[in-house]
Amino acid sequence: MAAEAGAGPADFVIPDALPVLPLRDAVVLPLTAVPLTVGRPRSVQLVDDVMRGNRLLALVAERDVKSDPGPEDLHRVGTVGAIHQLHRVPDGTVRLMVQGIERIRLVDFTATEPYLVARVEVLKDQTDQATEVDALRRAVVDVFRRLVEASAEMPDEMATAAENLSDPRHVAYFVAAVVPIDVAARQELLELDPVSAKLRRLIDLLQRELAVRSWDGRSPPRPRSGSPRSSASTICASSSGPSRKSWGTSRSAAAKAPSSAAASRRRACPTRRAARRSASSPGSRGSRRHRRSTA
């Protein structure tokens, strides 16, 4: 699972050319740290060479998964990353912890053997008017918090981490790295510019995922400590009640409502009882997300 990175782009000097590590079913975003598993022989050789140097490499997602991807099989926008940890596995694969540093574009390829090497240019994210982008940041954090509450596989600390980030760009990349969206959506967010465009698209993706979890009985949310109600009932109540700005107020008001109003809410939200039954049964917690990998 991705985590908040510890160092910023200013801590690294990005060279004009970098070895390119093709990513299968993964997109590494700037300002995040991500575990990767490397198994292709030429990719393992690339990692070995990089570890003897500055530990920097270009992390670029494949358009289509192939056993031996070439330049035409890769996206042109990726992320320069630094290898922080390496662990060799007896089966010959290598497990890495890499930190995304900055967006890059592959200009052209200078070598294809023994692995891909490309000239790169840094693509710094463009920022917009401070008031607008901060409002979008707050909206992303709000929807993300609600999604965490509705998710069995995402701990509460993730919402707290997002709330503590003041940089809208950092919020966009952190949330995009940890929410369960597909590779194509992450690549789209990486390529989008300016930052406000990333945040708007992220709000759409989060709201869609939140709606799916609210109505999908196969993936019930876990009950939250300190609250007798499951997060499914909270989401259902908030979706039919006041706006997100008054969401916290509506919950406290609902707790004081007379029994007839509570019965009405139960009729209007049939998923509440199903979610409670599912949450109280064994094995109701969602499975952990698999490790992102290259091959």
pLDDT for res 295: 54
Mean pLDDT score, 116-139: 94
Encode pLDDT of 250-280 as tens digits: 333 333 333 333 444 344 443 333 333 443 3
> Does pLDDT of 292 surpass 90?
no
Tell me: cis bond preceding 194? Omega within 30 of 0 counts: yes
> Does pLDDT of 143 surpass 90?
yes
Encode pLDDT of 161-207 as tens digits: 999 999 999 999 999 999 999 999 999 999 999 999 999 999 999 99
Q: How far apart are CA 60 and CA 62, in angstroms?
A: 7
Among 41-45, 98-102, 230-234, the minimum mean pLDDT is found in 230-234
pLDDT, greater one: 81 or 4: 81
Q: Domains in the chain, start-ordered, CATH in brackets?
A: 3-122 (2.30.130.40), 135-215 (1.20.58.1480)
pLDDT, greater one: 19 or 231: 19
pLDDT, greater one: 252 or 50: 50
- The contacts found for 221-229 with CB under 8 angstroms, 24 or more apart, are 221/149, 221/150, 221/151, 221/152, 221/275, 221/279, 222/152, 222/279, 222/284, 222/285, 223/276, 223/279, 224/149, 224/156, 229/272
Q: How many other CB atoms are found less than 10 A from the CB of residue 187?
A: 19
Among 2-16, 206-220, 227-241, 252-266, the minimum mean pLDDT is found in 227-241
- The contacts found for 233-241 with CB under 8 angstroms, 24 or more apart, are 233/265, 233/269, 233/271, 233/272, 233/275, 234/149, 235/146, 235/149, 235/150, 235/210, 236/268, 236/269, 236/271, 236/272, 237/265, 237/269, 238/146, 239/214, 240/268, 240/269
pLDDT for res 294: 60
Residues 6 or more apart whose CB falls under 8 angstroms from that of 151 comprise 213, 221, 286
pLDDT confidence of 49, banded at 50, 70, 90? very high
CB 29 within 8 A of CB 100: yes
Mean pLDDT score, 19-39: 96
Q: Which two tokens stand for residue 276?
A: 């409670």
pLDDT for res 67: 82
> Does pLDDT of 101 surpass 70?
yes
Helix (H, G, I), strand (E, B) or coil at 185: helix
Parallel, antiparallel, or unpaired: how do β-strands 77-88 and 117-122 relate? unpaired
pLDDT for res 41: 95
Among candidates 60, 97, 59, which has minimal Cα distance to 75?
Answer: 60
pLDDT, greater one: 281 or 294: 294
CB 158 within 8 A of CB 180: no
